[in-house]
Amino acid sequence: MSRRVVVTGVGLVCACGIGAAEAWPNLLAGKPGVRRITQFDPSGFDCQIAGEVPDFDPLRWVEKKELKKMGRFIQLAIASADDAVRMAGLTVTPEIADRVGVYIGSGIGGFDVIEREHSKLLQGGPGRISPFFIPSAIVNLASGYVSIRYGARGPNSATATACSASAHAVGDSFHIIGRSDAEVMICGGSEGAITPMCIGGFGAMRALSTRNDAPARASRPFDAQRDGFVVGEGSGVLVLESLEHAQRRGAPILAEIVGYGMSGDAFHITQPADQGDGAYRVMKLALQHGGVPLEEIGYINAHGTGTQIGDAIETVAIKRVFGERAAQVPISSTKSMTGHLLGGAGGLEAGISVLALRDRILPPTINYETPDPACDLDYIPNHARRAELRYALSNSFGFGGTNAALLFKRWEG
């Protein structure tokens, strides 16, 4: 029999702030985090804006001599993991270390390191490549460093399922605890890919907003004037625990995770399936897994990237799932403020969904100004909203047609 699993910690690092204590109020206030890129000179790029983490100093968490061994996504993951572990009041003692795992995903990993070391190779030959290149860049090293930091010797893994990576990491961790393979999982995702190749690559696909003259207004999911997504960076990490373990140590319980769905489109490398088939099925699976009736869902944190086709197809999928009730379900895309964290998005948005349940307040979709007939649901435009909700659904959809949905329940003791 599967065990109940609860959330005891949430760590958020994004363009809206470092740590949940800073980021969450800014998200509720509708504060935009998108600005002109500062990590490299974006002149000459079609898109010159991104959701950079402001004033991020990795030396707050990592010794200077260790930085050369870590891509930016690892540094961001450590910061959000610390935030989550601190909120959970978790200490990994030798007695429980074998039952504490880490599962942190990333869509791209150390893209910054790959670009830097490739330049060294071209300019000076293979002798210039850092011996720390590989462990600085590979996706599983966010989990590796976090596990070393806390001495967590339980399950250790990582996902690289594009923009669903960290939602899959959270959902898989839910199952790991449910089947008694661990008592605690530190899980989520991280991305630090605001680099020339990343911005140039997505730009070549015509996927990005080019509203360079108004960065704060560029990310506008579901709005009729949307012109593409904005790349963001950051990390979202949750501490999941078996209910018994959390209660035994007197942990603060923020919410319960009750459902998880996975699906594949088997359709196209970048476009969503017709009629949102994969998104429809993954939401249905999460609801069925949780045994939750449609009328109980009080909030959806949408994938909502700000692309013309993606937002319209997600709207279609939500209508297929909820039928006539779709118009009554509050939906928001917090990517309107944070930008799209790619593989880190699902972890960040899962954490946001948990905090919405805890505080009974729903973050807005900012920059929603012009209704689109193809996107005609309640997207919580521009202002946060109080709500007495019991369940929240968080959607993540990735290139290659890889989909995840997480279902959380407000903790009611």
What's the rounded Cα separation, in Å, for the pair 142 and 145? Answer: 5
Alpha helices in 329-402 (DSSP H): 335-338, 345-359
One-letter-per-residue 3-state SS of 127-140 = HHCCCCHHHHHCCC
Three-state secondary structure call for residue 333: coil
Catalytic option among 168, 245, 289, 303: 303
Q: Which member of 14, 163, 187, 198 is catalytic?
A: 163
Q: Is 303 a catalytic residue?
A: yes
**Alpha-carbon distance 341 to 6, whole Å?**
24
Catalytic, 383? Answer: no
- The answer to whether residues 187 and 100 touch, using CB atoms and an 8 Å cutoff, is no
Q: Are 23 and 12 in contact (CB under 8 A)?
A: yes
Supply the Cα-derived Rg of the chain in whole angstroms: 20
Query: How far apart are alpha carbons 169 and 155 in whole angstroms?
Result: 12
With b for 16 or more beta-carbon neighbours within 10 A and e for fewer, the 363-379 pattern comes to: bbbbbbeeebeebebeb
From residue 254, alpha-carbon distances to 178, 247, 352, 409 in Å are 18, 12, 11, 9
Pairing of strands 385-386, 361-362: antiparallel
Residue 55: exposure state from Cβ atoms within 10 A (0-12, 13-18, ≥19) = exposed
CA 271 to chain centre: 20
**CA separation for the pair 237, 218 (Å, rounded):** 26
Query: Which distant-in-sequence residues (6+ apart) come within 8 Å of 348 by Cβ?
Result: 12, 14, 166, 188, 189, 234, 235, 236, 334, 338, 341
User: Which of the following is catalytic: 47, 187, 340, 375?
Assistant: 340
- 100-105 and 184-191 beta bridge pairing: parallel
Closest CA to 113 of 73, 161, 153: 73
Would residue 163 show up in a list of annotated catalytic residues for this protein? Answer: yes
| Residue whose pair of structure tokens reads 């069925």 in the numeric block | 288
Q: Are 260 and 406 in contact (CB under 8 A)?
A: yes
Burial of 383 (0-12, 13-18, 19+ CB in 10 A): middle
Residues assigned a catalytic role? 163, 303, 340
